[in-house]
Amino acid sequence: MPLNIDGTIDGTFQLIGGNFTTAGEASTQLKLKLSELGVDETIIRRATIATFEAEMNVIIYAAAGWLHYYITSRSITIKIADMGPGIENIELAMQEGYSTAPDWVREMGWGAGMGLPNMKKNSDLFKIDSVVGEGTTVEMVINFP
Amino acid sequence: MKLSDIVKELSLEIKTYKDGLQNNVTGAYVSDLLSDVMANSKEGNIWITLQTHMNIVAVASLKGIKGIVIVSNRQIPEETLKKAEDEKITITTTSMPAFEIAGKIYLLLK
């Protein structure tokens, strides 16, 4: 059932690398927004997981990044662009369990190689582009039922 | 089962957000990997972990987790406690290791 949304509702968050303190804020805001709009619970859950993992990746690996979301009556699109080290081998990075996270990040329970697979699993459309030394962009679309 | 019943039965020490004790717990999840908890825990779970840094609060809040049990008497940083209070997440601690407390909670919820 398409939602009663006129045009596009969008929002932007700036993410700062290494700032674990505010991790989860973008996902929390987006979750609230989707609840307000009456989006299906399963969709909210998927969008929340995908957004949070994306947020964590920027915080863990990049200097900074931006997260944009666009909600229409039919879907939500989440775009993340970071100024990070880039990913050398995307195929490898997409494998569950593969991670380049440093030890201190793993000790926090991150860097288990589940982030990108979780993002893909929860999206209907998942696109990732990366340039080593420049950064990574991810686009995820979740269709409403 | 109410969180307060679990807390009482297993003598958990309450560290934050006492009002959350009224919450209903429908299951539990044990993991120290945060992405695993994001992916596989269920709303209404109680979460057993040794992680104490403040990201556990965001994970619990986003997933609708009803309470966190920190195992083996690990010290919780002040910033985590403050964030949990702000986000209305009940954190409890136990001297038991994860295996033991999970077993006991399993028996209570069975």
- List of domains in chain A: 9-143 (3.30.565.10)
Arithmetic mean of pLDDT over chain B: 97
CATH placement of domain B3-109? 3.40.1390.20
This model of the complex carries an ipTM of 0.91
Would the CB atoms of A24 and B39 count as touching at under 8 Å?
no
Arithmetic mean of pLDDT over chain A: 96
Q: Position B58: which residue type?
A: A
Q: Using a CB-CB distance cutoff of 8 angstroms, which residues of chain A are in contact with residue B35?
A: 53, 56, 110, 112, 114-115, 118
What local confidence, expressed as pLDDT, does residue A2 receive?
Answer: 63
Q: What is the largest CA-CA distance in chain A?
A: 47
CB-based contact, B53 to chain A, within 8 Å: yes
- Distance between start and end Cα atoms, chain B: 10
What local confidence, expressed as pLDDT, does residue A4 receive?
Answer: 79
Residue partners of B23: CB distance under 8 A and separation at least 6? B2, B3, B66, B67, B90
**Where exactly are the structural domains of chain B?**
3-109
CB-based contact, A97 to chain B, within 8 Å: no
Would the CB atoms of A49 and B39 count as touching at under 8 Å?
yes
In angstroms, the separation between the Cα of residue A56 and the nearest Cα of chain B is: 10
CB B86 within 8 A of CB B64: no
What local confidence, expressed as pLDDT, does residue A6 receive?
Answer: 87
Query: Which of B51, B58, B79 is nearest residue A23 as measured by Cβ atoms?
Result: B58
DSSP string, A4-29: ---S-EEEEEEEETT-GGGTTHHHHH
